[in-house]
Structure 1
Amino acid sequence: MDQKTFENKAEQLNEKMPEYCPITYSMSIIGSKWKIPILWKLILDDGQHYNHLKRMVGGITNTMLTKSLRELEDDGLILRHSDGTVPPSVTYHLTDLGKDLVYTMEELLTGAKNYTPLTKNSKKAFYLLINRIYKNGIESQSRYSIPFLILPFF
């Protein structure tokens, strides 16, 4: 896509984008590092205790799990159910709104499967080019073989 076409598309998108963007709002709700893995584990196996959820997610600290669960509860995606027993027994369940996210998660998974090989190939080509430039010098490269993104750095 040439620069003029890109600028026209960007302008059209800007005109269509509402002042209150639903995509930005959605990403503010589920866009943190741990919320999608938490939601995914609850989609796979609803009604989890805190420690079991922590083991299932893996690598998350108690602070981040607690913070993420509270935020998901505040946003209406999960429900915290306490049995009122001693010691406390708390389970986390998806609300109907949270269960609707299964469709969104499915689309994210499909998109990630399609996008990942492209980025891996692009990164591999970029690093091969940088390695070749490092070994042979920039003068040995055709100006068309150097991505425009790295030109400002030379």
Structure 2
Amino acid sequence: MTNGTAKMKEQLFEEFELGMRTAWRLIGRIRPEQWSYRPADNMRTLQELVHHIASLPEVDVMIAKEATEDEVRAAEKTYARLDCDAEALTAAMGRGFEGLKQHYGAMSDEEFLHRATTPYYVNHPTLQSRWLLETVTHLFHHRSQLFQYVKALGHDVTMMDLYVL
């Protein structure tokens, strides 16, 4: 593996970990009576959003590995059954992150930069390097939603909660 590819992977892993840890901080502020909060009828509840965030590392790797829709839905259901407990949710997400690092970290440069896979929901392939980048951006998208939910519920959160560990 070239130094450049290894460095790129490491930076993406670090960025994912920042997003994950700051999401955990936001999740830790949620009070039991707030899990059912839904900002609009066409949006997820806070519980659904947090379960989705917790599932991201594992499920996104499954998609990059061309899992079937049924396999992906089964994994998502496993996360949806988790208690609304910050420790359980963050532990599950942490395990998924370790799997993500193992999956992409073990790839050769050739595989990471040139191997493409096609998910069940589109008809065009995507490179493994792009899948990792997509997973990082996916997390940050939903972390932003989580920030807005928590702020709307009256918690004193600021941009510092998103970038300072």
> Which category of TM-score, normalised to the shorter sequence, fits these structures?
under 0.3
TM-score in terms of structure 1 length: 0.26
Select the structure that is richer in strand: 1
Q: Which has the higher contact order (CA 8 A, sep 6+)?
A: 2
TM-score in terms of structure 2 length: 0.25
